[in-house]
Amino acid sequence: MHETSHGSNMGGKHNIDDILFIIRAVSVVYGLSGVACTVTGVYTLWYAAPDIEFPFSSGSGVWMGFLTFVTFAMGINVVKGYDTDYPSSSKGKVITFYILVIMDVIFGILHVSFSALGFSYCSSEIRTGWIHCNTEERPRLLLMEGFSIAFGVIVTLLSVAVTIYLSCRRKINILAGIPTEQ
């Protein structure tokens, strides 16, 4: 393992290889979650057809899956193209990855909210008799919305954890080659 002397905080040295390993691992989870969100989003639109109304019309699973997959691709790009001898050469990619992770938090909250609203609409018509979703596909639509909520929560919590991890002890600065205070 390669220990770096590029910036230490409170006397502790950070191992860039360990940070890159974490980014690689979470990127794989982002990739799998991105595919899962996209698939459930497409099926949600499919089952909500032909008269797609809000919140199903938002297509939140599709755009959440796309953003999460882009985050995966950028994370893998950071890891594969990282130069430990010249970390600041990867500054743009590292900061872009960090911004995408933060966007995943925001979009994840929106996705979970839209999915929960859709789930609520479909399940409330069982009690109230008001029809908000395709009655023939209600069970499948409820299942897809449940999966969408689960995948959205996973992505959101993962993104919060990655944001905290990279922010603590200035790991993002060290990874980007930005000098830190001694």
Convert the pLDDT of each residue in 92-129 to its tens digit: 888 999 999 999 999 999 999 998 988 887 776 655 55
Q: Is the pLDDT of residue 10 over 50?
A: no
Give the count of domains, the chain: 1
Q: Is the pLDDT of residue 8 over 50?
A: no
- Which helix (H) or strand (E) segment holds residue 38: the answer is helix 16-48
3-state secondary structure of 12: strand
pLDDT grade for 30, boundaries at 50, 70 and 90: very high
Residue 1 lies in a domain: no
**Integer CA distances (angstroms), 127 to 26, 27, 114, 123, 131, in order:** 41, 41, 20, 7, 10
Q: What range does the domain containing 43 cover?
A: 16-176
Residue 8 lies in a domain: no
Is the distance from CB of 4 to CB of 14 less than 8 angstroms? yes
pLDDT grade for 168, boundaries at 50, 70 and 90: confident
Residue 11 lies in a domain: no
Cα dihedral sign, 22-28-179-163: negative
Residue 56 lies in a domain: yes
Residue 9 lies in a domain: no
Query: Using CA atoms, how far apart are residues 2 and 104, in angstroms rounded to an integer?
Result: 30
